[in-house]
């Protein structure tokens, strides 16, 4: 009896939660994206990009479900979340980035900026053709607090659209999926 009551209560809570989700129709914008609390423990770092010109190192992570579904020539799956966390490069007295034995730049420990793109079914509706990136949204986060930052994101859309419109609007993710292994 007690089990039935508990199950009924849980079912009620689940229905209430899904009703709340359905009451909020999609509107374009970064408010659709949140930084998953467990991303550092759960996501897979599949790429690291040295940017000597900007003296930063970019660590690029994807959620494991999307990682499993990456396939050559295929768009990324719905539910894909890609997080790019930048670190400052260690530099010498002249400000030139230091390199390790393998020639890679050496990061300072802290993240200085976090950018993210996420793809969900039905997203992207409402952006003009000069901006829309399929079903992707973009957001930027404060690296210390994880809070979404209120900054313009037009450049995210236009650059990813123009450079990677044929690669599902991604750079390292598409390249990783298409790299011969």
173 binds ligand HEC (CB under 6 A): yes
Applying CB under 6 A, which part among 8-16, 87-95, 101-109, 165-173 lies near ligand HEC?
A: 165-173
Residue 49: phi, psi to the nearest 5? -120, 120
In angstroms, rounded to a whole number, what is the distance separating the alpha carbons of residues 83 and 78? 15
Residue choice 116, 124, 136, 177 for contact with ligand HEC (CB under 6 A):
116
In angstroms, rounded to a whole number, what is the distance separating the alpha carbons of residues 113 and 111? 6
Beta strand residue intervals within the chain, DSSP E? 44-51, 56-62, 81-89, 107-119, 136-141
Residue choice 35, 60, 66, 105 for contact with ligand HEC (CB under 6 A):
60
Minimum Å gap between C-beta 25 and ligand HEC is 23
User: Which 3 state secondary structure label does DSSP give 57?
Assistant: strand
161 binds ligand HEC (CB under 6 A): no
Residue choice 87, 117, 123, 141 for contact with ligand HEC (CB under 6 A):
117
In angstroms, rounded to a whole number, what is the distance separating the alpha carbons of residues 155 and 28? 15
Q: Find where tokens 């599902």 sit.
A: 168
70 binds ligand HEC (CB under 6 A): no
Applying the rule CB under 6 A, the residues between 3 and 42 that interact with ligand HEC are none
- Which positions lie near ligand HEC, rule CB under 6 A? 49, 58, 60, 82, 84, 115-117, 138, 140, 153, 155-156, 159-160, 170-173
């Amino acid at each position: 009896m007690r089990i039935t009551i508990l199950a009924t209560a849980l079912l009620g809570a689940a229905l209430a939660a899904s009703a709340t989700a359905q009451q909020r129709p999609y509107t374009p914008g970064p408010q659709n994206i949140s930084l998953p609390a467990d991303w550092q423990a759960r996501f897979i770092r599949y790429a690291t990009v040295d940017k000597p010109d900007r003296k930063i190192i970019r660590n690029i992570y994807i959620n494991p479900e999307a990682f499993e579904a990456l396939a050559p020539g295929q768009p990324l799956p719905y539910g894909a979340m890609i997080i790019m966390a930048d670190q400052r490069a260690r530099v010498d007295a002249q400000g030139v980035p230091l390199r390790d034995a393998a020639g890679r730049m050496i990061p300072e420990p802290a993240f200085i900026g976090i950018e993210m793109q996420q793809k969900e079914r039905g997203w992207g509706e409402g952006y003009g053709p000069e901006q829309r990136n399929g079903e992707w949204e973009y957001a930027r986060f404060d690296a210390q607090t994880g809070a979404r930052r209120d900054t313009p994101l037009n450049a995210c859309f236009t650059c990813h659209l123009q450079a990677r419109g044929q690669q599902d609007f991604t750079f390292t993710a598409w390249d990783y999926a298409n790299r011969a292994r």
